[in-house]
Structure 1
């Protein structure tokens, strides 16, 4: 039986921002998960989000399928996704709905919405929540900047989020799936590939964390629900991402995840002040859009893409650093990635071996 994981609690409203930043730094280096309270998102709004989410996922499959996922927006059905491409499972036992950025008109046009005739309050509820949690995420990033001994408005000043690619994802895990000989997980083992994730749930358990992913067998620890608190975890862009999963709990589980990610033209590389001759960068720089596309394709095994990657940056071809991910993909997949010189740079920092945080700056 999994043990309960004790995570630090960060008060976003605390006037002692130095202490809060210190706690975040410690949490990110040790586990990659923490709780966030007094975050500014009203419980009444969260309640409406879960109510509207439940109503949508209760609709007939043929109605939901009219909003099938396109360009990472819209509905994904049960077992359509497998977060662990190495697993033999038929897929994850969850259905979901993606909502992308609202501020940019071009991005917003990609969003799909249920008919107002069926769910008249759905769109305004989700738009209100998206805007609220985006504000919370930006405030959290200011504390992360302080944790890196930067000015708290560092991320804002460099424009790393002026064309952000944040996604809101509604999730529904059915309570009963029937008998099966194979292990079926709500969400198979994975790490988030973005910057930071803010998660709220309806209180039904199931989320588990593995702090030492290289050890076998893996030890899984339950993440306990705290009313009114977000569960926050950092993603691969912060390097010290933590493997986690969702196991069936015998009850319907609803959650809503907000993935706060930077501009697509960001370049990921190690910050100069966080490496030296004795601790050099582990990899060359790479375009955020390319690596994200690769990871998304890996999650949806029905896609037919190629296993060819071309990285073009500043007019030069460079060897790719993504082979460890590529070996997980079937051979009938090919992905061709082209990258031109981006405006913004995302940096991972080698704070303590593999335990790192991240920074952004501009060319």
Structure 2
């Protein structure tokens, strides 16, 4: 492991909206990552989510494959996701389970896969409560502060239709933790940037997350991101980078194996597929024209998923 990156800490209960929004702005410009504390999601709920997650991943593979992903929701076995194009790289050493809201158009188009209730009676209610909790308490409140950080109205992202349908998903991840016998560094999640707006990460405390703040520099310099108990690690995604004309950084990151099993819970706060992502007026000028053409969020995400998954799937 390398040097530890000291990320800014954002307290979501701070009454000073403008000052906290400026801290978020600086964090997104400098790092693309920050810690979020006092966010309203209880540690007791997080422990329940991690406990239920471990129960699911401990099931026999054939029982998990019954819930195999269709599109992006459901169970993904080891090596299903592949961020690197090298023929020698077989995929990320992790297994995942992804779910979203069961409501709205997206919930009907892409129904969730759930474990049998008689097998895991607390699983679905725990996960659905967590989803709603993060979406209601953290999602829109945090995005309101992000909007203020961009000199926009606090409800800007709602006004442009980012939440006409609930597109956010939760991804549960298990990293087995075995080290490569060759002694080479192994990745549970190879180097990548996230696709959407904002990501909120909670973990079981096992190390492994690293960021590279300058993706164009060779050799790449990786810095460790330590966990803070009870805090989310928040990072900016590619669609937010496009919205802000590159002002906010969608920073490259990865998860390396440290020889321990590792569990994480990732909340991808993504916009409605029909939301038009185009450069914000507050982020461009005559001397700084838009760097990215407008694109529908759904079109962008669909193409990124197509390129990422190692196995073919319907979408």
By the TM > 0.5 criterion, same fold?
A: yes
Q: Does 1:210 align with 2:219?
A: no
Instruction: Classify the secondary structure of the residue corresponding to 1:270.
Output: coil
> Partner of 1:12 in structure 2?
12
Cα distance in 2, alignment partners of residues 46 and 167 from structure 1: 16
Instruction: Classify the secondary structure of the residue corresponding to 2:221.
Output: coil
> Partner of 1:224 in structure 2?
226
- What is the CA deviation profile of residues 262-321 of structure 1, one whole-angstrom value per residue up to 9, with x for unaligned ones? 11012222123432222111132222212211110111133289xxxxxxxxxxxxxxxx
Instruction: Classify the secondary structure of the residue corresponding to 1:67.
Output: coil
Cα distance in 2, alignment partners of residues 143 and 7 from structure 1: 18
- What is the 5 A alignment of 1:239-254? 239=241, 240-254=249-263
Q: Are the aligned partners of 1:89 and 1:183 in contact in 2 as well (CA < 8 Å)?
A: no
> Partner of 2:92 in structure 1?
92
> Partner of 2:69 in structure 1?
69
Q: Does 1:146 align with 2:148?
A: yes
Q: Are the aligned partners of 1:269 and 1:285 in contact in 2 as well (CA < 8 Å)?
A: yes
| Cα RMSD after superposing both structures | 1.9
Instruction: In structure 1, list runs of 5 or more residues that go unmatched.
Output: 306-334, 336-363
Q: Does 1:263 align with 2:264?
A: no
* Inter-CA distance 116–76: structure 2 relative to 1 (3 Å threshold): same
Runs of 4+ in 1 over 4 A off after TM superposition: 180-183
Q: Does 1:295 align with 2:299?
A: no
Instruction: Classify the secondary structure of the residue corresponding to 1:119.
Output: coil
Q: Are the aligned partners of 1:165 and 1:261 in contact in 2 as well (CA < 8 Å)?
A: yes
Q: Does 1:171 align with 2:170?
A: no
Cα distance in 2, alignment partners of residues 139 and 126 from structure 1: 21
Q: Does 1:104 align with 2:113?
A: no
Cα distance in 2, alignment partners of residues 60 and 180 from structure 1: 28
Cα distance in 1, alignment partners of residues 87 and 237 from structure 2: 21
Cα distance in 1, alignment partners of residues 229 and 204 from structure 2: 9
Q: CA deviation at 1:178?
A: 5.9
* Inter-CA distance 115–156: structure 2 relative to 1 (3 Å threshold): same
Q: CA deviation at 1:87?
A: 7.0
Larger Cα-atom Rg = 1
Q: Are the aligned partners of 1:92 and 1:184 in contact in 2 as well (CA < 8 Å)?
A: no
Q: Are the aligned partners of 1:85 and 1:298 in contact in 2 as well (CA < 8 Å)?
A: no
Tell me the TM-score normalised to structure 1 length: 0.80
* Inter-CA distance 296–256: structure 2 relative to 1 (3 Å threshold): same
- What is the CA deviation profile of residues 229-258 of structure 1, one whole-angstrom value per residue up to 9, with x for unaligned ones? 000001001212000000001111000000
Instruction: Classify the secondary structure of the residue corresponding to 1:4.
Output: coil
Q: CA deviation at 1:10?
A: 0.4
Cα distance in 2, alignment partners of residues 171 and 220 from structure 1: 22
Instruction: Classify the secondary structure of the residue corresponding to 2:234.
Output: strand
Q: Are the aligned partners of 2:160 and 2:275 in contact in 1 as well (CA < 8 Å)?
A: no
Q: Are the aligned partners of 2:81 and 2:92 in contact in 1 as well (CA < 8 Å)?
A: yes
Q: Are the aligned partners of 2:151 and 2:282 in contact in 1 as well (CA < 8 Å)?
A: no
Tell me the TM-score normalised to structure 2 length: 0.92
Cα distance in 2, alignment partners of residues 129 and 207 from structure 1: 23
